[in-house]
Amino acid sequence: MKNIRENVDEKVFPYISTNRRNNRDYLKSAYPAFAELLDTFQKNIPKEIFDGNARLLKKNWEKYRVAIVGVENKIKTITDLYDQTRRKYLAKYYQNIAICPYCGLNEPDTLDHFLPKKKHPLLSITLYNLIPCCNNCNHKKKEYDSSVESISFFNPYLDEGNSKWLKIEAISITNQSLDISYAFNEAAFDNEKQRNAFKVTCKELDLLSRYACRSIEFILNQKKNIQKFCTKQTEVGNYFGIMLKQLPQDDFWKTQLCRYIAENETAQETIFKYCNIANRWFFCESSMPSPGYKESLDNYLNFVGNNEEKYIYFLSDVEFKQKIVCISNDVEGVLLKDETNFSVFVPGLIDFSDCEDADFYIFNSHGCTGNSYKYEGCKHGVLVLKKNLSQIPAKAML
């Protein structure tokens, strides 16, 4: 969560040095961007919109929670002003905002009404009520109303940022996948009001789980570099220490992750293990035969000379030109039907990146299904296979 007041157009938050009585003149002098907007669409904006906003702003925008209700009660009807044309016009004042101030994950592609426009239509086009943010945050925030709720939502214009509000709780390998847990850092706050605002915003926007998912994606994107530059776990710490120095400090979810790995030996060990998974290929001295239709897995593995007890077997000729991957029906989630596409949940940390040219075979209780499959992808332990339609089921081996 970041304060972006200094980054918006300078006309949105000018220095206020006047308090003229005439509402239109007051807005032009004190809030030129908003006055410009009202003048542009003057024909379709009732006079009470000018007067109502002027009365509110004269009381100081920072006190909106107290002032807004009293102002709105004196206006009988307010036309819906937030249409497509005005929305495009409004966006130009926030074009310098590169990242969502709520989550820090995505580019801002929408405008959030800090006080919801359905409940406070007077503020539907008031610039100080519009927060440039990502669609995900806007959708999750819904109609949280800080003018009536006991705890105010974090306001990127009015509230100070705090980069230490987030911390890493643990990094581990759970259920055959990388698990990164974020937590809210209570100790980062001296001010109870600020702590409550950050906490409610974190909860409403589901930030902890969103950071966890994005962090796993971030580690996966670093995997090849970690394999290339880190030959032992201590070098993992150095790798993320260097990355930490290169990151902008307001990229808080990523800086917290890099700092935790750089300083935590257990995390370094976990990342090193996760990023250096190697398939154990068994190499046959002669050419690789394909498994026969209904041939048992045990028989096939004995034929090629691999007697290890596993769920997935990687087999290849010595020149690595022909590769076969055998999957046992003991693997959870294997569909034992002849389907064109299906998914398999793979137990254990296995790297399938070098299996794009391999032939996959499924073995059930009756033996090999006889169909060959090709690798389509693997994400978070789920292997996606596509049936090789050109494959003719092999005859039983004699």
124-142 residue pLDDT tens: 888 888 899 999 999 999 8
Residue 263: pLDDT band (50, 70, 90) is very high
Predicted confidence at residue 395, as pLDDT, reads 43
pLDDT over threshold 80, residue 342: no
Average pLDDT over residues 356-372: 87
C-alpha 47/C-alpha 24 separation (Å) is 10
Q: Report the greatest alpha carbon distance in the chain.
A: 100
Neighbour-count burial of 120, counting CB atoms closer than 10 A to its CB (0-12 exposed, 13-18 middle, 19+ buried): buried
pLDDT at 175 over 60: no
pLDDT by residue (tens digit) across 368-398?
888 889 998 887 778 888 888 765 444 433 3
CA distances from 89 to 111, 215, 372 (A): 12, 35, 57
Q: What are phi and psi of 114, to 5 degrees?
A: -55, -50
Nearest 5°: phi and psi at 320? 65, 25
Residue 285: pLDDT over 80: no
CA dist 236 and 251 (Å) reads 20
* The token pair that represents 341 in the structure block: 């596409």
Lowest mean pLDDT among 210-219, 237-246, 277-286: 277-286
Annotated domain spans of the chain:
5-141, 166-275, 281-387
> 206 or 309, which is more confident?
206
Cα 323–chain centre separation: 36
d(CA 88, CA 95): 11
Q: What is the pLDDT of residue 251?
A: 84
> How would residue 264 be classed by pLDDT, with cut points 50, 70 and 90?
very high
Measured distance CA(94)–CA(283) in Å, rounded: 60
The more confident residue out of 345 and 331 is 345
User: 140, 206 in Cβ contact below 8 A?
Assistant: yes
Measured between alpha carbons, how far is 212 from 181 in angstroms, rounded to an integer?
A: 6
Do 154 and 198 contact (CB within 8 A), yes or no?
yes
The reported pLDDT for the residue numbered 205 is 94
Segment 24-43 mean pLDDT: 77
* Pairwise pLDDT comparison (331 vs 83), residue with the higher score: 83
pLDDT digits (tens, 9 = 90+) for 183-200: 999 998 988 989 999 999
Mean pLDDT of 146-171: 88
The answer to whether 309 and 283 are in contact (CB under 8 A) is no
Higher pLDDT, 16 or 188: 188
Residue 96 has pLDDT above 80, yes or no: yes
